[in-house]
């Protein structure tokens, strides 16, 4: 991984995630809170795109269901925020009143703890990903079949969450969040804090992820992507390598969801809509697969245009997105990274040299 590419990605994330939000603290030229909030949401999408690129660009496994792990992280954070709000006001959230409930489900008490919430928002999606990934990878489900199964799983979860009797808000979702780390949700200070936290998280994941892909583990992932049967022939058990990357990818998506929910102030089953998971793949395809840089570029570019068109010409967005997909499919097979002439990550040849040195 070249330092030029890494520095470019870090600089882009610092600009969006730290410089822009901190303008909101300036007494002279403040950034409108809308832009600060939009920057925070875009950075959550950057995290989400990098989680997909870790698998698609790094391992060659395309997930069309990462909205599931994104939503799991968001629901865990929402339960904690609602318990916190209830402790301060004693007022039940609207969705419980709508369902005729006079109290939270008893097991929600565990989300009073910030520490437990932090552990749960990582453990729940990674456990779900571990079970699904183990069954799929052990059965050697690959390619388009794996992608279809991930989308079907997410769609099933969406249908379940639409049911009111699940206790997660049903169609209306969860809202009524009050505070985040002592700051009022919806206020300028909280928006700035969330945007900066999202920026810091994106920078750390990008920098550490780039470093990880440059290690021997990253070369093993690249070898699975380029020629998994050969790697198995050389004596490597690819199941556990893929499964570890899959669980890490799910955990990153959940962190993105946990940071996203307090910024939009609501969570509902729309996060599980397969269309969102498909759109994540488009971000990565447009930016370029492998090395995480393309995921950053694609997520920033597409979502910035989407936020702008949402106000200027909302009806034009589907056509713009379709045009980008056609451009990538016809002219730029690996997205904008092709246009920039940047590498997508370690190749199998690098691993072959390493195996030769080890006498494999």
The more confidently predicted of residues 173 and 100 is 173
Question: Where do we find the tokens 């998506």?
Answer: 253
**Domain residue spans of the chain:** 3-358
- Give the per-residue pLDDT at 311: 72
Q: Give the Cα separation of 82 and 181 in Å (integer).
A: 13
- 104 HSE (CA, 13 A, CB side): 21
Per-residue model confidence as pLDDT tens digits over 131-158: 999 999 999 888 899 999 999 999 999 9
Return the minimum-mean-pLDDT range out of 73-77, 105-109, 204-208: 105-109
- Give the per-residue pLDDT at 2: 57
pLDDT higher than threshold 80 for residue 73: yes
Per-residue model confidence as pLDDT tens digits over 144-194: 999 999 999 999 999 998 887 777 888 888 888 888 988 898 888 888 889
Q: How far is CA 207 from CA 1, 53, 124, 288, 293, in A?
A: 11, 14, 25, 17, 10
Q: What is the pTM of this model?
A: 0.89
Q: What angle do CA 12, 340, 289 make, to 5 degrees?
A: 75
> For 174, which DSSP code?
E
């Amino acid at each position: 991984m070249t330092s030029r590419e890494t520095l470019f990605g870090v600089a882009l994330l610092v600009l969006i995630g730290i410089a822009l939000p901190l303008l909101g603290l300036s007494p002279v030229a403040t950034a409108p809170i809308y832009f600060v909030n939009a920057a925070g949401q875009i950075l959550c999408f950057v995290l989400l795109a990098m989680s997909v690129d870790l698998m698609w660009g790094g391992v060659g496994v395309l997930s069309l269901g990462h909205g599931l792990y994104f939503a799991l992280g968001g629901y865990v954070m929402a339960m904690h925020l609602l318990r916190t709000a209830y402790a301060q006001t004693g007022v039940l959230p609207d969705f419980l009143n709508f369902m005729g409930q006079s109290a939270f489900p008893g097991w929600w008490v565990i989300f009073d703890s910030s520490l437990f919430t932090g552990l749960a928002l990582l453990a729940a999606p990674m456990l779900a990903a571990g079970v699904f990934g183990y069954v799929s990878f052990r059965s050697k489900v690959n390619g388009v079949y794996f992608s279809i199964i991930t989308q079907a799983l997410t769609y099933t979860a969406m249908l379940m969450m639409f049911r009111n009797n699940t206790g997660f808000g049903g169609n209306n979702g969860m809202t009524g969040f009050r505070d985040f780390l002592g700051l009022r949700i919806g206020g300028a200070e909280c928006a700035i804090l969330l945007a900066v936290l999202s920026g810091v998280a994106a920078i750390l994941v990008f920098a550490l992820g780039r470093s990880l892909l440059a290690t021997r583990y990253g070369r093993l992932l690249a070898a699975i992507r380029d020629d998994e049967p050969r790697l198995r022939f050389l004596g490597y058990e690819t199941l556990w390598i893929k499964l570890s990357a899959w669980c890490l990818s799910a955990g990153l998506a959940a962190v993105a969801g946990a940071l996203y929910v307090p910024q939009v102030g609501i969570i509902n089953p729309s996060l599980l809509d397969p269309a969102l998971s498909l759109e994540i793949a488009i971000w990565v395809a447009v930016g370029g697969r492998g090395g995480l840089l393309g995921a950053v570029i694609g997520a920033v570019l597409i979502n910035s245009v989407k936020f702008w068109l949402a106000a200027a010409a909302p009806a034009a967005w589907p056509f713009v997105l379709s045009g980008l997909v056609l451009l990538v499919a016809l002219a730029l097979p690996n997205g904008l990274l092709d246009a920039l002439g940047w590498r997508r990550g370690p190749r199998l040849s690098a691993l072959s040299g390493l195996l030769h040195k080890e006498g494999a």
